[in-house]
Amino acid sequence: MKPIEIEDTDNWLGCPTPLETCRHQLALYENEFEELNLQLRQARERIFKLVEMHAAVAIERDQLRTQLTAAKSEAADANRKATDIETKSNWQLMAKDKHISELSTKLDAATGISARTGQPNR
């Protein structure tokens, strides 16, 4: 195609000139730049809030871990004490049973009557 056959549309009514086209494109870029800056600012604010929330939760987590450790220690101490009490009471019961058995045997020998059955010994 020859350059003479190409229509010159620069003077047509309603067609933007190259300068107007560049200005329009520049305005679009400026609007997009402003929008991206706004989105970036909002994203930074959200990130800052998330960092603050994370720090607060991390502090709470550490406090709860400390409380959990203390509670586990208390539970272990209580379990140890309960085991000691149970062992001691079992030993005391066994000693009482042995003492009662010895007394019963002595009573049987002294009276000739079984302390368990209430009947004479044979």
Q: Per residue in 54-101, pLDDT tens?
A: 999 999 999 999 999 999 999 999 999 999 999 999 999 999 999 988
| pLDDT tens per residue across span 26-58 | 999 999 999 999 999 999 999 999 999 999 999
List beta partners, residue 120.
Answer: 113
Phi-psi category of residue 76: left, alpha or beta, with phi > 0 → left and psi -120 to 50 → alpha: alpha
Exposed, middle or buried: residue 107 (CB in 10 Å: 0-12, 13-18, 19+)? Answer: middle
